Amino acid sequence: MLANDQLSITHDAPIPTWFHVGGRADRFCTPTSLDDLKRCLEVDPRLRVLGDGANLLVDDDGVSELVVSLKSPAFQQVDIDEKSGRVLAGAGADFPKLIHETVRRGLAGLEGLIGIPASVGGAAIMNAGGAFGQFADSVAKVHVIDRNGKPAVRDRASIPFEYRRSGLSHLIVTAVEFKLTPADPGPLRERLKECMAYKKNSQPMADNSAGCCFKNPTLAAPLRLAGLDEFSKGARVSAGLLIDKAGCKGLRVGGAEVSQRHGNFLTTSPGAKARDVIELMKLVQQRVLEFAGVKLEPEVVIWSRNK
Ligand code: EPU
């Protein structure tokens, strides 16, 4: 048994998220070592791990479970081997910074994922991605511990990655090993700039949001929308496009609004409540269902008390 007395737990702590809304954590801890993290699991085996808060909505009542942030040096270490292309990054490392660093060091594989705010661990759990690739494409191994504190290293082949899903959310990711490819940094930098420009052009990057709010749905039946070629059954369609065509841009509930720039971004203004975002999500789902017969599933993770 590990002693819990060295853990520094803060009570009634804010949970920083990119939405800038939502409730607090009854208990919050930033473990400074793997042993510390195991102690946290002894305190609360149901603990919740906070990544960068970039894809997270915390309900206004906050949460009762211990919230753990891995933003301590022990979980932010990055080791890059330029020759082999092997990169080991702690779960708390900043993912966009890691992308810039690998590009600078002439390693290809992650550059298409620029513009996705995340911690390495959060990006792994979500299989973060977009039009230019997904996290799983560059993964070699994922280091995890289970809820009993037992460590394991999972090979890429044993991880059931799917669109925006890793199948690892019951575990705690502690580090990720990437397999990147040595390449000329010049073209990689150009690619990075192109991807960033595409996003700046099409997304409200300066506003408070959690990026895309809904997953892009796979169609159960062909879909025809005015002015566009028919989408076939089984195609994955942009949720933003559907929300836009359903006339939802600019819809508001309290301080939450559907972005005029990209329909899948729900933005918040100062004073907004998490409830505003949740109600707006429901309204958007209802309108898209009525308009296109498609049920949108949230991509954003919602934390609620006792749920
Ligand atoms: N479109 C519209 N109106 C809109 C939004 C999009 O007409 O309001 C059209 C676009 O013009 C384009 C098509 O829909 O023809 C696809 O749009 P986009 O390229 O923006 O891609 P997306 O499928 O909407 C995905 C990811 C984004 C990622 C972008 C670019 C999902 C749910 N979304 O969006 O990821 O940034 O590709 O790589 O997979 C995120 O996951 O948080 C996220 C923002």
Q: pLDDT digit string (tens) for 253-272?
A: 999 999 999 999 999 999 99
Q: Report d(CA 3, CA 257) in Å as an integer.
A: 47
How many Cα atoms occupy the beta-carbon half-sphere of 248 within 13 Å?
31
Which one of 132, 216, 264, 284 would you pick to mutate in the ligand 1 pocket, going by the greatest count of ligand atoms within 8 A of its CB?
264
Tell me, using a 6 A CB cutoff, whether residue 263 lines ligand 1. Answer: yes
Nearest atom in ligand 1 to the alpha carbon of residue 163 is: 39
Task: Say how many C-beta atoms besides its own lie within 10 A of residue 287's C-beta.
Answer: 18
Q: What is the mean pLDDT of residues 41-49?
A: 97
Residue nearest to atom 5 of ligand 1 (CA): 240
Task: Specify which residues 81 forms β-bridges with.
Answer: 86
Residue 3 pLDDT > 90, yes or no?
no
Pocket test for ligand 1, best of 125, 163, 212, 245 (most atoms within 8 A of CB): 212
Residues contacting 190, CB < 8 A, separation 6+: none
Long-range contacts of 127-131 (CB under 8 A, 24+ apart): 127/161, 127/162, 127/163, 127/164, 127/165, 127/166, 128/55, 128/95, 128/164, 129/163, 129/164, 131/198
**CA 33, 82, 76: angle at the middle one, nearest 5?**
20
Atom number, ligand 1, closest to the C-alpha of residue 202: 20
Are 258 and 243 in contact by the 8 Å Cβ rule? The answer is yes
- Secondary structure (DSSP) of 234-252: T-B--HHHHHHHTT-TT-E
pLDDT for 1 equals 44
Whether the pLDDT of residue 122 is over 90: the answer is yes
What would the pLDDT profile of 219-245 be if each residue is shown by its tens digit? Answer: 999 999 999 999 999 999 999 999 999
The pLDDT tens digits of the residues spanning 5-22 come to 689 999 999 999 999 999
* Contact 240 CB / ligand 1 (< 6 Å): yes
Q: Which two tokens stand for residue 278?
A: 């949740």
Task: Indicate whether residue 199 lines ligand 1 (CB < 6 A).
Answer: yes
Which residue has tokens 């737990």?
Answer: 9
Q: Within 10 Å of residue 130's Cβ, how many Cβ atoms?
A: 18
Length of the chain, please?
307
Evaluate: CB of 241 within 6 angstroms of ligand 1: yes
Q: Is 264 in the pocket of ligand 1 (CB under 6 A)?
A: yes
Mean pLDDT of the chain: 96
Query: Distance between CA 142 and CA 105 in Å, rounded?
Result: 22
pTM: 0.95
Amino acid found at 37: L
Distance 294 CA to ligand 1 centre (A): 17
Nearest CA to ligand 1 atom 11: 241
Strands 24-29 and 63-69: parallel
Residue 177: enclosing H or E segment and its boundaries? strand 172-179
Q: What is the amino acid identity at position 75?
A: F
Most ligand 1 atoms within 8 A of CB, residue of 99, 135, 238 to mutate: 238
- Per DSSP, the three-state class of 204 is coil
CA 116 / ligand 1 centre spacing (Å): 12
- 307: pLDDT strictly greater than 80: no
Taking the CA atoms of residue 117, residue 123, residue 125 and residue 130 in that order, the dihedral angle to the nearest 10 degrees is: 90
Q: Would the CB of 202 count as within 6 Å of ligand 1? A: yes
Distance 237 CA to ligand 1 centre (A): 9
Which pLDDT belongs to residue 6?
A: 80
Between CA 4 and CA 205 the distance in angstroms is 41
The region, left, alpha or beta by phi > 0 then psi within -120 to 50, assigned to residue 35 is: alpha
Query: Closest ligand 1 atom to the C-alpha of 265?
Result: 44
Residue 5: what pLDDT?
Answer: 60
- State the greatest distance between any 2 C-alpha atoms of the chain, in Å, as a whole number: 65
Classified as helix, coil or strand, 120 is helix
Q: Is 176 helix (H, G, I), strand (E, B) or coil?
A: strand
Return the axis-axis angle of helices 185-202 and 95-104, rounded to nearest 10°.
150
